[in-house]
Amino acid sequence: MFVKTLFAFLICFAVMQFVVSASEISRTIIVNGTVVQVRFDVFVDGETYYAIDDVYPNIILNSCGDFNCSEAYHAKIAVTEAVNTSLYYYLNLPIVSINTTYLWSGTYMMEGMTEPAFIIGDVEFLIVANVTIPDDVPEAHQVPSQAKELMFIVSIFIAFAMGLYAVNELAGKTPIEKKAQVLIVLLLVLAVLGIVSRAF
């Protein structure tokens, strides 16, 4: 008789646990563009009221949504007409230089509960580092020094060309010699311009 009574009690206890577990509040964390959406799915089974106090990490608040955010890093709500629903608040997606994990905590209470229960579901979220390093950074750092060297070479050739021109005028060269020297100068200038254009 005792064994049967104990067995019946255990069955009733298991059924009660199952019934209680039908009422719960869970958290889901989703990134939507540059916003972190925090969603709460509320399931009630006859309860008429509940309260949520969610504690979010040190992330800038975007919008309180359905909650009251008057207390720093707390999103709170008290509902007196409980139905199955989803509730939201929103945070700005942090820009981090290294992968960073943020932690949530929070509790809720429903009608008939004697103490708060932890919100189930997502309790942490990994923000992946958002750092973009251009592929051409090393080359970009070399550009100023290359430009200075090329400008120096151009200056030398321009000075050389002007010197040839002056010597040609003073020496009284024949027209053919003058044309030849001018052609040489032009070729030198074009060669320098070609080097400059390839460098940039």
Q: How far apart are the first and last CA of the chain?
A: 97
- At residue 153, the pLDDT reads 75
8 A C-beta contact, residue 164 and residue 181: yes
Helices marked H in the chain: 2-21, 137-171, 175-199
The winner for highest mean pLDDT among 33-37, 147-151, 179-183 is 33-37
8 A C-beta contact, residue 27 and residue 119: yes
Per-residue pLDDT, averaged over 118-140, amounts to 72
pLDDT digits (tens, 9 = 90+) for 9-33: 444 444 444 344 479 999 999 998 8
- At residue 200, the pLDDT reads 52
Residues 3, 43: Cα–Cα separation, whole Å: 36
Q: Does residue 3 belong to any structural domain of this protein?
A: no
8 A C-beta contact, residue 47 and residue 112: yes
Which domain covers residue 176, as residue numbers?
137-199
Q: Are 47 and 94 found together in one domain?
A: yes
Q: Are 70 and 166 found together in one domain?
A: no
Q: Does residue 15 belong to any structural domain of this protein?
A: no
Q: Are 100 and 171 found together in one domain?
A: no
Closest CA to 120 of 105, 99, 100, 131: 105
Helices marked H in 49-128: none
Q: Tokens for 135?
A: 């592929």
8 A C-beta contact, residue 151 and residue 159: no
Q: Are 188 and 122 found together in one domain?
A: no
Q: Are 165 and 100 found together in one domain?
A: no
DSSP of 62-78: EE-TTSB--STTEEEEE
Which of 127, 159, 176 marks a domain boundary?
Answer: 127
Q: Are 119 and 151 found together in one domain?
A: no
Asked whether the predicted pLDDT for residue 137 surpasses 80, the reply is: no
Q: Are 120 and 141 found together in one domain?
A: no
Per-residue pLDDT, averaged over 79-98, amounts to 94
- At residue 166, the pLDDT reads 58
8 A C-beta contact, residue 30 and residue 41: no
Q: Which residue has the tokens 């021109």?
A: 165
Counted domains in the chain: 2
33 contact partners, CB below 8 Å, separation of at least 6: 93
Q: How confident is the model at residue 35 (pLDDT cuts 50, 70, 90)?
A: very high
